């Protein structure tokens, strides 16, 4: 029933998304460097002028262009401007080897069993599965997620301490909207997930970076910053197989960190997006399991189930969860009930656990192939992380290479990555690259990494 001109190439849409994100952040960086000129007044007739004088230039009913950008809220100013639209609308090329988006591989997605579950829910349970859900999520689904946390993390949230969200980013947005006033300090790992930086900046937070090393966030540095007077309202961390470095926080640092949160009264937002996708031993205890009084855990089912229904969870202090539920009433009101029930049925049947075992093996294999390719193709002086789980390897190029500037050369060579700078709150990462190996076919990894190596070598030779 899809007309042929719409083009549902199996991977086309996905690559499109990747490129959109990639271009978006390239653009964002450029916008920042241009000193946010996009929000400056233009010669075009604009919203504020018309509002001031109630003038009649368009009284003839013509469709003359208004400049709506003049009315943008102040909180949008750090998010870049109108040029992003044009770039987002670009159709993606389909012959690019893309290491850019943090996408799960469709090979891990459920098929037959889930098809049966979906058909059964629609036929036999439409009154629940197709209806609005309670904003905090369906009771049975919360019961399932709660039991899952109990078995994975040794602690079950009480009633009121758990809600269903529309993916992990939904939790960040709801928290920022509910608790961040302009100028509030939010501390993050540097580098960290760029979506989180955007979510907090979207509410005019003062986002500050705390450095990381091979053992995760430098909690000792955070301790010094706090002693010197830094007062974050929220500290955001991805303790397991971090985005973008692939590295994890040690058990000792986790205990130290929750101690700091209790002492200084800040909330830890713990993002566990990759926690279940480790390649070896189980990760250290989650921060939430250590300190449910000061930790809000944001989980997502996008990486372990699939992203095509927007589903995640938030577990934390009841006072926090209750406010996120109020905020969610005004965003999407509830996460889709059909996806919730599919997850529950699939999960209670044991299928999710089996899927995760297969996913771990796939991503471990790709991490290994990517590491091998890096060893074969990177120029001298390049370094990279060796993840024990998750989707990412973090590459540091030698010799002052600018990975933003090289993006165009990479595109010309039909390979895509995300440059390092947007992963920092400010000023770092110019020589760095995030490689997401999660959705690059095994037989394309070596070639893709070889092309990036070429781009870097060419840049080094031209210096």
**Using CB under 8 A, which residues numbered 192 to 221 contact its own copies?**
195, 198-199, 202-203
Judged by CB under 8 A, does residue 64 bind its own copies?
yes
Judged by CB under 8 A, does residue 114 bind its own copies?
yes
Residue 314 contacts residue 162 (beta carbons within 8 Å): yes
What is the enclosing helix (H) or strand (E) of 172? helix 168-179
- The minimum distance between CB 378 and its own copies, in angstroms, equals 29
Q: How many CA atoms lie within 13 A of 25 on its CB side?
A: 26
Q: How many CA atoms lie within 13 A of 355 on its CB side?
A: 25
Q: Among 320, 374, 401, 459, which residue interacts with its own copies (rule: CB under 8 A)?
A: 320
Judged by CB under 8 A, does residue 24 bind its own copies?
yes
Judged by CB under 8 A, does residue 4 bind its own copies?
no
Judged by CB under 8 A, does residue 379 bind its own copies?
no
Q: Which of residues 235-264 bind its own copies (CB under 8 A)?
A: 258-259, 262-264
Residue 414 contacts residue 97 (beta carbons within 8 Å): yes
Q: Which is nearer to its own copies, 171 or 401 (CB)?
A: 171
Judged by CB under 8 A, does residue 463 bind its own copies?
no
Q: Which stretch binds its own copies (CB under 8 A): 173-181, 381-389, 391-399, 415-423?
A: 173-181
Give the C-alpha separation, 333 to 318, whole Å.
19
- The minimum distance between CB 190 and its own copies, in angstroms, equals 19
- The minimum distance between CB 301 and its own copies, in angstroms, equals 11
Judged by CB under 8 A, does residue 414 bind its own copies?
no
Judged by CB under 8 A, does residue 363 bind its own copies?
no
Q: Which stretch binds its own copies (CB under 8 A): 46-54, 211-219, 414-422, 441-449?
A: 46-54
Residue 240 contacts residue 274 (beta carbons within 8 Å): yes
- The minimum distance between CB 49 and its own copies, in angstroms, equals 7
- SS3 category, 46: strand
- The minimum distance between CB 369 and its own copies, in angstroms, equals 21
Give the C-alpha separation, 153 to 149, whole Å.
5
DSSP string, 209-277: EEEEETTEE-HHHHHHHHHTT---SEEEE--SS-TTT-----HHHHHHHHHHHHHHTPEEEEE-TTTT-
**Nearest Cα residue to 425 out of 238, 192, 215:** 192
Judged by CB under 8 A, does residue 322 bind its own copies?
yes
């Amino acid at each position: 029933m899809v007309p042929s001109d719409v083009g549902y190439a199996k991977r086309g849409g996905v690559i499109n998304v990747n490129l959109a994100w990639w271009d978006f952040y390239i653009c964002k960086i450029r916008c920042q460097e241009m000193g946010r000129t996009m929000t400056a007044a233009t010669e075009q007739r604009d919203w504020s002028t018309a509002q001031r004088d109630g003038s009649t230039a368009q009284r003839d009913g013509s469709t003359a262009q208004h400049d709506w950008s003049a009315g943008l809220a102040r909180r949008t100013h750090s998010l870049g401007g109108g040029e992003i639209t044009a770039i987002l609308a670009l159709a993606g090329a389909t012959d690019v080897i893309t290491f850019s988006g943090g996408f799960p591989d469709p090979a891990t997605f459920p098929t037959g069993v889930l098809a049966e579950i979906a058909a059964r829910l629609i036929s036999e349970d439409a009154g629940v599965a197709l209806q609005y859900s309670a904003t905090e999520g369906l009771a049975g689904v919360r019961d399932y997620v709660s039991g899952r946390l109990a078995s994975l993390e040794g602690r079950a949230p009480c009633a009121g301490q758990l809600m269903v969200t529309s993916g992990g980013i939904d939790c960040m947005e709801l928290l920022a909207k509910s608790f961040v006033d302009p100028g509030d300090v939010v501390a993050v790992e540097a580098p960290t997930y760029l979506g989180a930086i955007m979510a907090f900046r979207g509410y005019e937070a003062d986002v500050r970076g705390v450095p990381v090393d091979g053992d995760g966030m430098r909690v000792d540095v955070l301790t010094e910053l706090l002693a010197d007077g830094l007062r974050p309202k929220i500290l955001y961390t991805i303790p397991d197989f971090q985005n973008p470095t692939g590295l994890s926080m040690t058990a000792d640092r986790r205990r130290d960190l929750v101690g700091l949160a209790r002492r200084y009264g800040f909330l830890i937002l713990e993002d566990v997006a990759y926690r279940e996708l480790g390649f070896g031993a189980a990760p250290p205890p989650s921060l939430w399991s250590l300190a449910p009084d000061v930790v809000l855990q944001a989980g997502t089912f996008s990486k372990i189930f699939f992203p095509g229904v927007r589903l995640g969870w938030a577990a934390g202090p009841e006072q926090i969860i209750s406010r996120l539920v109020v905020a969610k009433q005004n965003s999407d009101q509830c996460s889709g009930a059909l996806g919730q029930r599919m997850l529950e049925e699939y999960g209670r049947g044991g299928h999710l656990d089996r899927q995760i075992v297969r996913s771990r093996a796939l991503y471990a294999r790709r991490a290994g192939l990517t590491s091998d390719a890096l060893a074969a193709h990177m120029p001298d002086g390049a370094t990279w992380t060796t993840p024990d789980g998750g989707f990412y390897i973090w590459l540091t190029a030698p010799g002052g290479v600018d990975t933003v500037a090289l993006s165009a050369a990479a595109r010309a060579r039909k390979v895509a990555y995300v440059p390092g700078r947007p992963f920092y709150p400010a000023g770092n990462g110019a020589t760095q690259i995030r490689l997401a190996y999660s959705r690059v076919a095994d037989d394309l990894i070596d070639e893709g990494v070889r092309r990036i190596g070429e781009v870097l070598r060419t840049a080094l030779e031209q210096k």
